[in-house]
Structure 1
Amino acid sequence: MHPKKKAILLALCISVLLMLAKFIAYFITHSNAILTDALESIVNVLASGFAFYSIYLATLPKDTNHPYGHGKVEFFSAFLEGTLIGIAGIIIILKSGYDLLYPKPIFQLFEGATIIGATGIVNLIVGYFLIKTGKEHRSLTLEADGKHLLTDAVTSAGLVAGVILIQLTKIYWLDSIVSILLGLYIIYNGYQLTRHSVGGLMDESNTALVNSIIEIMQQNRKDPWIDVHNLRAQQYGADLHIDCHITLPYYFDLNEVHQEISGIDKMINGHTEHKTELFIHADPCLPACCNYCKMKLCPVRQEPFRAEIKWDINNATKNQKHFDQ
């Protein structure tokens, strides 16, 4: 089984067990704050279930209907998880607000806090494991699920602290206040996760990723690579797709052009952690390129080389040669 599938299947099984433990804690205590954590665990189980399915799809090979692969389903998985988290937070706030107006007795808070504390520790360990595995295999779904579990662990820690405070002070309406605060925190994290996934679904530019590609090309720059522009990068699951225009000497024949483009392909794939597919369009140089072209013994140079234009995100991503700026 693929390591990503093993990781998410482990998370799913653990999420089911922790959900049962949290509901046991709620039935022991009748605490709204503990119910908050139990309801979020339902989201954990649903999200892990869909995450398992999305990872199954993402690991399928490309086919006729999906020439870029199935990796984008991971953005949808993260979106669904963020939405479920937000809905859980809203339900928690509504339930806690009602019980703040119409309070009911709570019991055995220390026993409940012990159970919740133990589940928080487990979520912390599993969350870090999922994030580590997600980064190793470049899976947004695993990272999103891991971050969700870390959020759950933080929620559990705050819950335990709140329950202990309630037990010590005997101010039982604090139970609903703690629950409302945790609900707001859960909604915020759901928004963050949803925002990131929507950006991926709409091919929002990944500035850090584009910067790293441009830096690799700049550091390994060769004289025939006169100009690079209209550079764009899209990530589909673990795969990265890059397209750009490269300006080469116009007198290069087709074999030389192919050799330079193949060199760029090998260079980027040798320096990035992603499996990268490149689509490179070759442009012929123009006389206006001469002043920043470093080609030695160029037979058609019309003016001397003056200075190299350093590639950065401001000029390499524009759809124009640098002399047009």
Structure 2
Amino acid sequence: MKQRLVLLSFVVSVLIMAAKFAVYYASGSTTLLTDALESIINVVAACFAYYSIYLASLPKDLNHPYGHGKIEFFASGLEGVLILLAAAYIFLHASQHLYSSPELKSLDVGMAVSFVSAGINGLMGYFLVKKGRSSHSPALVADGKHLRLDAYNGILVVAALALTYFTHWYWVDSVASFLFAGFMCWQGIHLMRESVAALMDETNPALFQKVTDWVVANKKEEWIDLHNLRVQQYGGDLHIDCHLTLPRYWDLHRTHDEIHGFEEMLKELQATHVEIFVHADPCLDECCSHCSIADCAIRQAAFSKKIEWNQMNLALNQKHFNETLARS
């Protein structure tokens, strides 16, 4: 499904690119050149997104024990690099025409093509972002966001061309290109920043909060403590590590069953694959004050209050006591 969507994006981008370059050569407008160059990025990005989604769908192997999903983040970063390269060329081209008065023709046709392509890119981008988020595909989301931003650029292109067409202020064409190139630089840097963060396994606060909320909503009394929680995203898949504190008087069979139930609960977090590694910790005497198991046979202190599980304390590699923290 994801590959078919990217293939559709590629076909649409090729058709739009051909139309934009045709009106650029007919008009000579640097603003239209800006729009056409961004269409090249759409085509190249769609090609690499298709390949990255194909790689991400491959099963794990000995060389890739966590799967191939991170290639989608690389695809997103490559798209950012291409955007920066196109912006640099637009800066150079626009500066060469800033003080000249080139003859601009067929601006009305250029406005029509830019307006129609902006509508198509906007709808396609909205659809790709929606499907990418539902399938947890960074490559689809990145491609959709770029198409959506390309649609916004198209609307600004129409506005700049209309101003040039009706006022004959030809300098507007170059100035608008500078503005669009600056916006493209911001867009490219933003995509690269997100890609590098994901490749470096930087914590995604929204995703970590989603996991935290899910665990808290399904919490059982037997789960005395949870800490050292790690959430990593591999394309559309998730990898979760944590330490779960359970009663130390349980036998191995019961501990295994409880951990299995904990893992199955986490796997319901999202539709895509979730891989979980749980380290079982035995409870300590200091845990009694926040352990709510009523029939505990080895309790050393009365229950006083529960400890809130949140992003801050679940990420720590420490057991949580009411007032102090001890190394696990």
What is the TM-score normalised by the length of structure 2? 0.96
User: Residues 93-121 of structure 1, C-alpha deviation per residue, up to 9 Å, x if partnerless?
Assistant: 12101110334221121111111111111
**Post-superposition offset of 1:274:** 3.7
- Structure 1 residue matching 2:211: 3-state secondary structure: helix
Instruction: Spell out the pairing of 1:1-325 with structure 2 (5 A cutoff).
Output: 3-323=1-321, 324-325=324-325
Amino acid at match of 1:109: L
Instruction: Provide the rounded CA distance (Å) in 2 between the counterparts of 1:268 and 1:103.
Output: 64
Q: In structure 2, the residue corresponding to 1:321 is in which secondary structure? A: strand
Residues in 2 aligned to 1:271 and 1:42: alpha-carbon distance in whole angstroms: 38
AA at the equivalent of 2:23: A
Q: Does the CA-based 8 Å contact 1:25-1:116 persist in structure 2?
A: no
Aligned residues: 323
- Shift in Å, 1:38: 0.7
Is residue 26–residue 38 contact of structure 1 (8 Å, CA) maintained in 2?
yes
SS in 2 for 1:242: strand
Q: In 2, Cα distance between the equivalents of 1:193 and 1:300?
A: 54
Amino acid at match of 2:134: E
Q: Residue type of the partner of 2:53?
A: I
Residues 279-302 of structure 1: per-residue CA shift (max 9 Å, x gap): 000011111111001111211111
In the TM superposition, what is the alpha-carbon distance from 1:189 to its structure 2 partner? 0.9
Structure 2 gap segments, 5+ residues each: none
Kindly provide the CA deviation profile for residues 26-75 of structure 1, in whole angstroms up to 9, marking residues without a partner as x: 01100000000111111111111111110110111111111111100000
RMSD over equivalenced CA pairs, Å: 1.1
Mapped contact 1:225–1:247 kept (Cα < 8 A) = yes
Q: 2-side partners of 1:18 and 1:288: how far apart?
A: 66
Which AA in structure 2 matches 1:198? Answer: V
Farther off after superposition, 183-192 or 72-81: 183-192
1:72·1:201 contact (CA, 8 Å) conserved in 2? yes
In the alignment, is the contact (CA less than 8 A) between 2:35 and 2:153 conserved in 1? yes
Secondary structure of 2:69's partner? coil
Question: Structure 1 residue runs of 4+, over 6 Å off?
Answer: none
